[in-house]
Amino acid sequence: MALGVRKLSYALGAEIMGLDLRKPMDDATAAEIRKIWLENLVIVIRGQEITPAQQVDFGRHFGPLDDHKSLPFYRLQEHPEIFLITNKEVNGKPSETKDTGRLWHSDHSFTTRPTMASALYCREIPSVGGDTVFTNMYMAYDTLSDTLKGILDKLEAIHDITTYAPFRKRNPEQVAEMHRINPPVAQPVVRIHAETGRKALYVSEALTFRFVGMTEEESRGLMEFLWEHSVRPEFTYRHQWKVGDLLMWDNRCAMHMAPADYTPGEPRLMHRITILGTPSGRVYQEAAPQKAAA
């Protein structure tokens, strides 16, 4: 099946046309979608009217799905593979995912099996705004000097969900449980993509705060440079959502961010599935201080 493809920006993003995700998908079509996705990092399939079960079926063509045990509080009861991102009430209470994604990040980089792909389905969107912005981390790496690349290739950075500022405003019991489930993880600063073999930067303002073997103060200058460099306008694509959009991105080589660009009272409801990636990084434990010689 030949699919129509339209580029969405210079840096990344493509719209795929000619798909109805209510219909069963064959392996050849899934392989073609995967090829387009790997080439463009972000793909959009518009005008879909799908159920949670159909969204889950779509995701399973690309790998095993996360059941969100590391983020257990906002799963759909009937479909734990679907995570709610919304500013609407959940179970009669204000949603704590209303500010999800306000800072640049890559999904689940704070675990030792980070997300390979995320697929977000738009069910409700404000009249204006509610956008998501993406950046190409291949480009962020490729445009660095060879000298800096040589330094970064050898470094690890600590990823920790409890450093994410909006997260710290949530229910203290949930924060404590999330910290127990998700201890800090050391990830490579430069990650090699398992399918393309290309190098991409793998740090974010939301979840990385220092390099392994350095203090926060020592890390700050270089870390802040990498955060700013990674999101230069020429590396980015800003998606303006419409109800029925299904958008999938590659967390191994792209970051994303959801700005607070809409009236808070207007509803925004997204269903997210996450496709598990391969193991990466290690649980980080601070080295014990060495005793002085007697």
- Known catalytic residues are 105, 107, 256, 272
Whole-number Å distance between alpha carbons of 225 and 191 = 18
Tell me how far CA of residue 29 lies from CA of 3, 25, 32, 61, 260, in angstroms: 8, 6, 5, 10, 36
Total residues belonging to the chain: 294
Tokens of 11: 């840096």
Residues 284, 291 contacting (CB under 8 angstroms): no
* C-alpha 252, offset from chain centre: 9
**Cα-based angle 177, 95, 246 (whole degrees, multiple of 5):** 105
Question: Residue 209, SS3?
Answer: strand
Q: Choose among 158, 137, 91: nearest CA to 251.
A: 137
Residues 66, 276 contacting (CB under 8 angstroms): yes
